[in-house]
Structure 1
Amino acid sequence: MGKWTDRLAEIGVRLPHVVPPVAAYVPAVRSGSHVYVSGQVPVVDGQLPATGKVGAEVSAEDAKQYARTCVLNALAAVDALVGLDSVVRVVKVVGFVASAEGFNGQPPVINGASELIGEIFGEAGQHARSAVGVAELPIGAPVEVEMIVEVA
């Protein structure tokens, strides 16, 4: 075990299996000292827990929890590629929220991702971020999160 895998155990979190891509891409790619993780939706055991737009079919509070699931899926992709314990810091997070007309609470939804990153990585988890409202996401997902991490 190492620093980050030990931290996951401390907070009672387990990484899931890597979610298989739904199109022509790979879950994560390393280039130099960075790993770029493809957008991850909140798939759990091969299924989305909910579909639809946040602010209509999906509550903002539920979407915030789904953003946490997206981060776990992203970290699983990092772990499978280079090992989670090789992460030096989280550099950037981009969160997409399938938003009902008039919904503008994207930042609090994506806080679900950012807060979990902070729980796991502490200071090394302080990251740049965008939280973007979109009309639709793949397979009807309410949220999607991609990230860039620096690795040793």
Structure 2
Amino acid sequence: MTWTGRLAELGVELPSVPAPAGAYVPAVQSGNLVFTAGQVPFVDGKIAATGKVGREISPEEAKAHARTCALNALAAVDALVGLDRVVRVVKVVGFVASAEGFTGQPAVVNGASELLGEVFGDAGKHARSAVGVAELPLGVPVEVELTVEVGESA
């Protein structure tokens, strides 16, 4: 089965690639690796939420937003090289805008990691960083970037 077939089986549709909010591109390829820009929780071209996790945003809400970020990152990969070329997910970096004292960043970033596991199975197992930060662009609660390995095109 293809990865796009797996998404369909899961009932998941990739969104349109969000337009960059600055002087960068959504994803670049170097050799057999694709690196995505940090993706925030854009849904239908709009920010889905703002605020700090552990204050205005609950950890459960933030986890759902991390999943959205991962979907946006997969859309960037798909637009650049085609999702079905993905061999494996190599690394996930998640940034969580955290209220003072909030230490649940790994559980929040699990929203992205769990989606990647659902889609790619063993090929979705990855190294990861989950980092608490004071602020994120546009006031969003979470941002996720991916590094994936890709194979030759069909």
Question: In structure 1, how many angstroms separate the alpha carbons of the residues matched to 2:48 and 2:28?
Answer: 27
Aligned to 2:14: 15
Query: Separation in 2 of the partners of 1:77 and 1:21?
Result: 11
2:119 corresponds in structure 1 to: 120
* Runs (5+) with no aligned partner, structure 2: none
1:40-74 deviations in Å (ceiling 9; x for gaps)? 00100111121010000100000000000000000
Which residue number in structure 2 is paired with residue 89 of structure 1? Answer: 88
Q: Distance in 1 between matches of 2:146 and 2:49?
A: 22
Matched positions, count:
151
Q: Distance in 2 between matches of 1:58 and 1:104?
A: 14
Question: What residue in structure 2 maps to residue 148 of structure 1?
Answer: 147
3-state SS, counterpart of residue 88 of structure 1: strand
CA-CA distance at 1:21 after TM superposition = 0.5
Aligned position for 2:105: 106
Alignment of 1:32-71 (within 5 A): 32-71=31-70
| Amino acid corresponding to residue 94 of structure 2 in structure 1 | G
Taking structure 1 as the reference length, what is the TM-score of the superposition?
Answer: 0.98
C-alpha separation between the residues in 2 aligned to 1:32 and 1:50? 35
- After TM superposition, which residue ranges in structure 1, 4 or more long, deviate above 4 angstroms? none
Q: CA deviation at 1:30?
A: 0.3
2-structure distance, mates of 1:118, 1:83 = 18
Cα-to-partner distance string for 1:115-147 (whole Å, 9 max, x where unaligned) = 000000000000000000000000011000001
Which amino acid is the alignment partner of residue 36 of structure 2?
V
Q: Which runs of 5+ in 1 are unaligned?
A: none
Instruction: Give distance in 1, aligned partners of 2:48 and 2:79.
Output: 23
Matched letter for residue 138 of structure 1: P
